[in-house]
Structure 1
Amino acid sequence: MSNRLTIVVVEEDRDRAISIMDALQAGGDFDVHVIGNVSALARRIAALSPDVVLIDAGNPTRDMLEELTLASGPLERPVAMFVGGAAGGLAREAIEAGLSAYVVDGLHPDRLKPVLDAAIARFQMSQQMRRELIETRRALEERKVIDRAKGVLMKARGIDEAAAYALLRKAAMDQGRRVAEVAEAIVTTAGLLT
């Protein structure tokens, strides 16, 4: 995220919106935009391309939570939702939907900065975990392909596993490619020949 954060505040009450803007401006160097009408919310948020979205939802229903979640793009940016009360089990759904913060007891200007900081930190942690999960899945898939290629080489050449892997590594180095790429080519070729 850049040094100067762009924050979209979704707040229908004009006086509360002004109070929130004042609290944000006092808490840091932010470019703050207020959306006072939730119609076409997704389009309006996308047009502003904010770094963070703060939503004052009062007492949200499940439908409202789903709409606001989809509109604010919690997987793209930190989103904090402030609600008036416990809202009957919606906290779990909100977090599962990807919200970075779900704050009960409404949006209080004096709590904005700490909640904003926590939402950004949680979002960054979540993004890191997603990247690591994607990388782990990719590595696992590559490992499976390499194992299949070793099996093909072991059967075709009558060699052991270590020799098959050494052959894969040598081919990869000779061709300036990754071992997984060479393994994929071997598996694909073997599939065509059988």
Structure 2
Amino acid sequence: MATPPARALRIVIVAPDTLVPEADDTEAWGQAERSRSLRIGLLEAGYDIVAVLPPDMYLPDHLARIQPDLVIVDAESQARDTLEHVVIATRDERRPIVLFTNDDDTSHVHDAIAAGVTAYVVAGLAPERVKPVLDVAMARFKVEEGLRRELADAKSQLQERKVIERAKGLLMQRLGLGEEEAYARLRRAAMDKKLRIAEIAQRMLDAADLLG
């Protein structure tokens, strides 16, 4: 049986509104030409450009509605301001973010990467370079998200252990139990209620705080 083709990556581009600037605006025409080159590269590589959005206050709502796989920031001299909009828009629901720019002021690259930008590309853009950049960005994002989940799980487990230890200490103090017996009581209660031990322990601590 043939393997079905992979779904095209759904991409939102965050960029200035127009590709036809004022006739005497040389910088804007350069930006427009680079934007066209970027979009040609995306389409030739088989990506699905689902929207081109301006970096404004409505961006978070648009991204929440569209649910793209990846966000591309196509920015020039306003790269920093545009990035701030995009980072805020993806703060609660993280997505890979790739910045393409010709702005050679790289003083804020570190801040951009720390804020969630997956790839920061500063150079002239050839269409054939687009796919390799996005492939690397997607792979890096998956690795970083895996590490983020592992760290969150480790923090959660540590917090749960602290809650269980506090609950055990409470049982030992108030009922005169040994450590093993206190833990056994927590485990039995968790099994009876079909809850995790940490949940039973937290309920016990909440009740103790309430009763004083």
Q: Which is further off, 142-151 or 101-110?
A: 101-110
TM-score by length of 1: 0.83
Q: Which is further off, 94-103 or 122-131?
A: 122-131
Superposed CA deviations along residues 125-146 of structure 1, whole A, max 9, x for unmatched, are 2222232232222222211111
- Give the CA deviation at 1:41: 6.2
1:31 aligns to what? 48
- Is the CA contact 1:78–1:120 (under 8 Å) kept in the aligned structure 2? yes
Q: Distance in 2 between matches of 1:98 and 1:8?
A: 16
Consecutive unaligned residues in structure 2, runs of 5 or more: 1-5, 20-31
1:4 aligns to what? 8
Consecutive unaligned residues in structure 1, runs of 5 or more: none
- Is the CA contact 1:154–1:164 (under 8 Å) kept in the aligned structure 2? yes
- Give the CA deviation at 1:115: 0.9
- Give the CA deviation at 1:124: 1.6
1:92 aligns to what? 110
Pairwise CA RMSD: 2.6
2:154 aligns to what? 136
Q: Which of these residues, 64, 74, 81, is aligned with residue 99 of structure 2?
A: 81
Seen in structure 2, the aligned counterparts of structure 1 residues 86 and 5 have a Cα distance that, compared at 3 Å, is same
- Is the CA contact 1:8–1:50 (under 8 Å) kept in the aligned structure 2? yes
Seen in structure 2, the aligned counterparts of structure 1 residues 41 and 114 have a Cα distance that, compared at 3 Å, is farther
- Give the CA deviation at 1:151: 0.4
- Is the CA contact 1:11–1:56 (under 8 Å) kept in the aligned structure 2? yes
- Give the CA deviation at 1:150: 0.3
Give matches, 1:143-158, under 5 Å. 143-158=161-176
Q: Secondary structure at the match of 2:75?
A: strand
Seen in structure 2, the aligned counterparts of structure 1 residues 176 and 49 have a Cα distance that, compared at 3 Å, is closer
| Mapped pair 1:121 → 2:125 | no
Q: Distance in 2 between matches of 1:19 and 1:188?
A: 60
TM-score by length of 2: 0.76
- Percent of aligned pairs with the same residue? 41
